């Protein structure tokens, strides 16, 4: 933990935080002094390991099993956090419906059903909707709060046309900007982080080396993102350093997308 922790006294919920990007975001908040709640769907062992890593740096942390696609479960989770700590400062919507990023085996448009789109929409926008709805009364009560939603750079540069996944994430950006517009007067900020391919994670593990190499060659910073590359921008958007930013999308892909 740093000498002057940036998030000391703050309570942060990270969804889908038992592995990959979410786990690194949780650990990064812990290193900056936050009380971190690690939400997970089913892998208790992995979630407990992230909790242990957060505790090891001197932060307070615990895991909560809840399906963010279920409104009642989300409401109980967030009400429980506020009952336990008296506050909620930051929500990071990182959980996603399972998706395998493998250009060789992606589903072509003419083989997709509308249900494929609906499933990804429920996983991206539906989950964020449930979490934001449950957190909003607590944010409004204190006239402050920060929401960071994880999108993808594919919404601007579909280097591989993952139709259903990317369409859902584009909708998440629109969802976030509408929330930012409405909630700004209440002191609540909403922003997005849009990574490129992050490797290695469970979702990207099957992406072949030749594709990764071609992506690296096209990326100005000449490498692929690691989970810790995503965590930094999330913490920035959750901090008072970005206190006058809302409705924004930060692309974290080594310069592949420039906006």
Compute the radius of gyration of the chain from its Cα atoms: 17
Residues in the chain: 259
3-state secondary structure 99-111: CCCCHHHCCCHHH
Q: Which residue has the tokens 């494929």?
A: 116
What is the rounded distance in angstroms from the CA atom of residue 26 to the CA atom of residue 46? 13
Q: Which of 146, 48, 165 is nearest to 98 (CA)?
A: 165
Phi, psi of 242 (to 5 degrees): -110, 30
Residue 199 annotated to the active site: no
* Catalytic-labelled residue, pool 99, 162, 165, 199: 165
- Contact present, 164 and 118 (Cβ < 8 Å): no
What's the burial of 54, exposed, middle or buried (CB within 10 Å: 0-12/13-18/19+)?
Answer: buried
Per the listing, tokens 């493998």 go with 102
Q: How far apart are CA 220 and CA 200, in angstroms?
A: 20
| Angstrom distance (rounded) from CA 155 to CA 163 | 10
Report the alpha-carbon distance of residue 22 to residue 135 in Å, rounded.
Answer: 19
C-alpha–C-alpha distance, residues 67 and 42, integer Å: 9
Instruction: Tell me the catalytic residues.
Output: 165
């Amino acid at each position: 933990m740093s000498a002057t922790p940036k998030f000391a006294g703050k309570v942060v919920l990270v969804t889908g935080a038992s592995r990959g990007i979410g786990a690194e975001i949780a650990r990064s908040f812990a290193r900056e002094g936050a009380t971190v709640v690690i939400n997970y769907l089913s892998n208790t062992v992995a979630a407990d390991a992230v909790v242990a890593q957060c505790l090891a740096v001197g932060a307070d942390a615990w895991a909560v099993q809840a399906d963010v696609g279920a409104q009642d479960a989300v409401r109980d989770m967030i009400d429980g956090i506020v009952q336990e700590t008296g506050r909620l400062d930051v929500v990071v919507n990182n959980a996603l419906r399972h998706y395998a990023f493998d250009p060789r085996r992606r589903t072509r448009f003419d083989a997709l059903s509308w249900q494929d789109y609906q499933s990804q929409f429920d996983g991206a926008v539906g989950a964020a909707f449930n979490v934001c709805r449950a957190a909003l009364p607590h944010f409004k009560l204190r006239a402050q709060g920060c929401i960071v939603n994880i999108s993808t750079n594919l919404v601007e540069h579909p280097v591989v046309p993952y139709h259903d996944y990317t369409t859902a994430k584009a909708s998440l950006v629109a969802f976030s900007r509408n929330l930012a517009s409405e909630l700004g007067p209440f002191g609540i900020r909403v922003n997005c982080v849009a990574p490129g391919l992050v490797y290695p994670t469970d979702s990207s593990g099957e992406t072949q080396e030749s594709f990764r190499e071609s992506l690296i060659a096209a990326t100005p910073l000449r490498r692929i993102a690691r989970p810790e590359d995503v965590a930094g921008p999330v913490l920035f958007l959750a901090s008072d350093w970005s206190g006058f930013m809302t409705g924004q999308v930060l692309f974290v892909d080594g310069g592949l997308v420039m906006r």
